Structure 1
Amino acid sequence: MGARVLGEPTATRAASRREAARRPGSALLAFAASLAGLLAALPVLSLTAPFWVMGTLTEWLAGALGRRPRPWDALVEYDPRAGWKPRPHLRTWAGDLNQDTFRISTDGDGWRGRATLDSADVVVFGDSFAQGFGVDDRHFFADLPKEVEVKAIGCAGYNMLQSLRWMETYADRLEGKLVVWMLYLGNDLEDDLNPAVGRYRQPFLRSSDGGVTWSEADGHVSPDPWTASSQEGSRAGYVELCRGGFHARRALAAFGHVLDRGADVCSAAGARLVLLTVPELSPVARREIEEALSDGGRREAFEEARLERDIARACGERGVPVAHLRDHLDAGDYLERDYHWSRSGHRKVAAVLEALARKYGGGRDRVPVSVRGRGSLDLEVGVGVDAGAGSDGDSGTAGRRRDRPT
């Protein structure tokens, strides 16, 4: 069988040579035809060759430099309380939502940044924004401040309930610290009500009396992929939150429940809680919002400031100060093809955290802080942060993957 696969039998090859000898011009004719075809293809080759060479070289360099992004499952692991968490001791390349690579490192607990939880003056809880998704370690906001040490506890895809559970886990280590809870307006409020993000199961909130009382549901949380339908927060959902109505009232009622719990945790721990809202300012998000507004007359009553006022009102009722990053960021502080911050965005967020620490205590000369505050914050934000090296040339994606949390 090997001879038949690798070549023709010997008798057949001999017969072919005798036939070719009787036609000496056939070989020359075949050669001429091949040469003519090659010459005809030269213009096309001259146009495509540079692209082929560059593509091959880029792929080779990516492999040679070790910048191939690790798959998402290699970056996270199952956690019975939160659903998933970053893997500890990572020193690798991750891919943003456009698979552009960025360097990511984690400590022994799975969290990013040089500071430890015990040494930190400020502890940030949140989702992919708190995790610094999309930029290298050296540009990560938590490592930029000079006045304070910042530890970020966050992971892509987290809702507020997941962040709350980590707040509860670390409560006995938060005494005297400023706790900053990042609320991404794009989908955090909705995701508090959803049992899964894509195929990843998460704890969520549910109510059986129209939002008067809430309970946490986590009996479904397991390492097994979620196969039922799930509704990750969407641009259409964000638009509805900004229009008021039943959808917004329900999400805000759930938010109030989580905020109450977080305020109680920080109060008992002797920590100061501040809420920090993360707005939808990225060019990608603005385009998607505009598309959602064009569908079914949703533009009527749409007001993004309404959502921030509703959140500030809920915080004021509970004595929790709130700051809005909308007051400090613009579209240029976000990645061009992604929802997350660029390097300049991280620098500004670091400056905001320093301003919050100055206002509420913490830092190298930490002073005692009262547990409760009030109202929305007016901050004097400076630029006393390590700007890091390089330009703001980060990039991301124009679309959102649904097979992993975002």
Structure 2
Amino acid sequence: MNSQTPARLTGSASMSFQNPVYVVSCASVVGKKEGEGPLGSKFDLVCEEPMFGEDTWEAAESTMQKEAAALALGKAGLTPGDIRMTFAGDLLAQTTASSFGIAGMGIPFYGLFGACSTIGESLSLGAMSAAAGYGEHILCATSSHFASAEKEFRFPLAYGNQRPLSATWTVTGSGACVLSGTLPVPEIPEKTESLISEEGCVQITGLTTGRLIDFGLKDSLNMGGCMAPAACDTIYRNFCDFGRAPDDYDAIFTGDLGAVGKRILLDLLNEKGYDIESIYQDCGLLIFDGETQDTHSGGSGCGCSASVLAAYILPELAKGTWKRVLFVPTGALLSKTSFNEGDSIPGIAHAVVLEHVSKKDQKQ
């Protein structure tokens, strides 16, 4: 273990890593609708059959998540036995998709729930573990499935309910990343698709942990409105904690605010004196084509930001398209019980600072 202090606490809720945390590889698996969207060619695997060869929606999601994990390991030239621990989660009760998915690979497992922000929670805990030397290789993953989410939180598909324009479409998708505190990863075969190349690599250099923000909204079909205040709070505190402004980032990505939440977020940050519109994108608006695909406000679900991160953001960072990105997955923390009892829907957002590091600047 590196004797250097692994991380430095920064401001009210952030930390910066003194020991490097590398994103070694990533992989994405999505469904047919996602494969027909603007990012379709970038996903590692598009499954045309929504059941993924299984008998239930929940088993289909488990299979999808396990496939994304296996692909990420393969790209890094690793096996399940090389992974010290896994941080994974999903939207289903008791994280069953992860429990029957990645957990079946025999890797030490921590199940997480952060709603649609879960990949941010997973990467945060994985990065802390890798920086502190608690595991040479850490696997982080999340997933969601349109049909299993509708069954869990709203109406069975056969009910045929109408969706308001503020509603988002739960992404059928999974994203997985392998983190490491060492570089290069030993014994990487030449033909792997690792994110480490002659152009450089991707490091997680900082985190801002989200707070629960509750504006009292109770509309489960307007999750963008529920989550936007949390995204604003986390982004604002990231700027304050690190002494940064929007210009210090080449791009800022939120998880799945959709068209409604995006507008609210921009307005809330403008009230605080920050204009991020020129560098801001939302994964829920990137994954679907709002003009040709009937997804209303955009995409959502644990698999939304996770699959966009693995298919688009990380590969572009590895190539040096951007030098520093703020990745802010967002979550609406409701359950069937809380919603049916009339409770409000608090939001949360976790920020992960991702940076491209050229080969000459890599810390050995």
Q: Which has the higher helix share?
A: 1
Q: Which has the higher contact order (CA 8 A, sep 6+)?
A: 2
Q: TM-score, normalised by structure 1?
A: 0.28
Q: Which has the larger radius of gyration?
A: 1
